[in-house]
C-alpha cells in the first residue's frame, strides 16, 4: 500500500517467515504460506497486506478489515473477522515494528557529494557519505562512515559525527559532538548559544556560552527542535533517547539514556532527567529541576520541583497522577454542590 513514488519495498514474505521474525505464532498453521506484499493500517489493508491491532479503540475497525493478516494479542483474537489470518503476539506494536523493518529496512545512503554542496578544506568526509545540495561542511568537521547530510544543512567548524548519522534538510549543528546512528531531523538547531543573561544595572549582560552539546549514540532529534549548548560545561543527550519535533532543550540540560520526549516539550536550563524517563507532549520543566530515573510525566505537565524516580505525574504543578485525578474529581464535586 505504500506509495512507490516515495518508498522502496522488500518482499513479499510468507506469513510463516514474518511470524518467526516478529516473535509471533500463527493462529492457524495452514496460513503460513500466505504471501504478504506490504504492511497497511486496518482500514486500508487488502488481502495481501499485514496489519496490526494495538488499541481497543480500533476493534470496530478490525471487525471490518479486509487485511489478509493481522498481528494481534491472543485476548483479542476472537474479535477478528474470519478471512484474516492471525499472528498472535504478546506485543503487537513491537511485532509490527519488526515486520515493518522487513519490508522497509533502513539502508545506507547512496554515496556522493552534490556539486552545489560546500565542503571546506580541513574537513573529513569519508567516501561512503552523502552530502546533498547546498549543504555546508565547515573546516574541522569530521564525519563517520555512511553519514547522510541533507540539503541546506549546516555543520559548523569542528563538529564531529559518528557512523551512520543522518542530518535533515536545513538543520544546523554547531559546537557539538554527535555519536553513532544519530538522526537529526530537518530544521533542528543543535549547539546554538543558550539564553543566558545576568541582570546588570544597565540591563541584561549576555553570557558567552562556551560549552558544547554532546549527543550520545542512537539518539533521534525531531524536526525544528532546538538544543542549546552549555554555558560552561555541556548539554548532554544520553544514549538511545528519542526527542520528538519542536522540543526545546536549554543550556546545560543533562538527559539520561533511553528517555522519550514527546512533541513541544520544553526543558529550562540545567534540568536533569534520569534514564528511561518519559515526558508527554508539551511538558515543561523549570530550571535546575531533577527528574528521577524512569519517571513518567503526562502531557502538559509543569514541573517546578524535583520528582522521584519511577513515579507517574500529571498537572501544573505536576503531582502523582492518582492525586491529580482525585483533585479533578473533587473540583467537579464542588460545582455540583454549588
C-alpha cell at 80: 477478528
251 is a catalytic site residue:
yes
The residue from 189, 215, 235, 294 that contacts a copy of itself (CB under 8 A) is 189
Tally of CB atoms within 10 A around 134 = 16
The residue from 35, 59, 81, 197 that contacts a copy of itself (CB under 8 A) is 197
**CB of 231: closest distance to a copy of itself in angstroms?**
8
Is 6 an interacting residue with respect to a copy of itself (CB under 8 A)?
Answer: yes
Nearer to a copy of itself, 144 or 196 (CB): 196
Alpha-carbon distance 37 to 201, whole Å?
69
Of 13-21, 26-34, 36-44, 78-86: span binding a copy of itself (CB under 8 A): 36-44
Is 98 an interacting residue with respect to a copy of itself (CB under 8 A)?
Answer: yes
Binding residues among 200-259 for a copy of itself as defined by CB under 8 A = 200, 203-208, 210-212, 218, 220, 222-224, 226, 228, 230-233, 240, 242, 244-246, 248, 250, 252, 258
Is 133 an interacting residue with respect to a copy of itself (CB under 8 A)?
Answer: yes
Binding residues among 138-167 for a copy of itself as defined by CB under 8 A = 140, 150-152, 154, 157-158, 160
C-alpha cell at 5: 513514488
Angle at 267 between CA 204 and CA 193, to 5 degrees: 45
| 38 Cβ contact partners less than 8 Å away, ≥ 6 residues apart | 1, 2, 9, 11, 48, 49, 50, 103
> Virtual CA dihedral for 274, 280, 283, 285, nearest 10 degrees?
-10
Burial label, 273 (beta-carbon count in 10 A; 0-12, 13-18, 19+): buried
The residue from 65, 123, 170, 235 that contacts a copy of itself (CB under 8 A) is 170
Alpha-carbon distance 147 to 182, whole Å?
9
Nearer to a copy of itself, 63 or 97 (CB): 97
Nearer to a copy of itself, 22 or 80 (CB): 22
Q: What amino acid positions are annotated as catalytic residues?
A: 251
Amino acid at each position: 500500500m505504500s506509495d512507490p513514488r516515495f518508498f522502496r519495498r522488500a518482499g513479499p514474505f510468507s506469513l510463516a517467515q514474518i511470524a518467526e521474525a516478529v516473535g509471533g505464532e500463527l493462529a492457524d498453521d495452514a496460513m503460513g504460506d500466505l504471501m504478504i506484499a506490504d504492511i497497511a493500517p486496518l482500514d486500508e489493508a487488502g488481502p495481501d497486506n499485514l496489519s496490526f491491532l494495538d488499541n481497543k479503540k480500533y476493534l470496530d475497525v478490525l471487525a471490518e478489515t479486509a487485511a489478509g493478516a493481522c498481528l494481534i494479542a491472543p485476548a483479542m483474537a476472537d474479535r477478528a473477522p474470519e478471512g484474516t489470518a492471525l499472528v498472535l503476539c504478546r506485543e503487537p506494536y513491537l511485532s509490527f515494528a519488526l515486520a515493518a523493518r522487513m519490508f522497509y529496512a533502513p539502508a545506507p545512503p547512496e554515496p556522493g557529494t552534490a556539486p552545489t554542496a560546500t565542503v571546506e578544506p580541513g574537513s573529513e568526509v569519508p567516501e561512503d557519505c552523502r552530502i546533498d545540495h547546498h549543504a555546508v561542511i565547515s573546516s574541522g568537521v569530521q564525519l563517520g562512515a555512511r553519514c547522510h547530510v541533507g540539503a541546506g544543512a549546516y555543520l559548523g567548524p569542528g563538529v564531529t559525527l559518528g557512523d551512520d548519522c543522518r542530518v535533515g534538510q536545513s538543520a544546523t549543528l554547531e559546537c557539538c559532538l554527535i555519536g553513532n546512528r544519530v538522526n537529526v531531523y530537518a530544521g533542528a538547531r543543535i549547539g546554538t548559544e543558550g539564553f543566558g543573561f545576568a541582570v546588570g544595572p544597565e540591563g541584561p549582560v549576555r553570557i558567552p556560552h562556551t560549552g558544547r552539546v554532546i549527543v550520545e549514540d542512537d539518539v533521534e532529534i525531531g524536526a525544528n527542535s532546538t538544543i542549546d549548548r552549555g554555558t560552561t560545561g555541556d548539554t548532554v543527550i544520553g544514549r538511545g533517547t528519542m526527542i520528538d519535533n519542536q522540543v526545546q532543550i536549554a543550556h546545560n540540560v543533562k538527559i539520561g539514556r533511553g528517555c522519550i520526549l514527546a512533541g513541544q516539550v520544553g526543558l529550562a536550563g540545567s534540568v536533569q532527567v534520569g534514564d528511561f524517563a518519559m515526558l508527554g507532549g508539551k511538558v515543561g520543566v523549570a530550571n535546575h529541576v531533577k527528574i528521577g530515573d524512569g519517571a513518567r510525566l503526562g502531557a502538559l505537565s509543569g514541573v517546578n520541583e524535583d520528582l522521584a524516580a519511577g513515579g507517574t505525574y500529571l498537572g501544573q504543578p505536576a503531582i502523582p497522577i492518582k492525586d491529580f485525578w482525585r483533585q479533578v474529581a473533587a473540583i467537579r464535586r464542588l460545582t455540583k454542590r454549588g
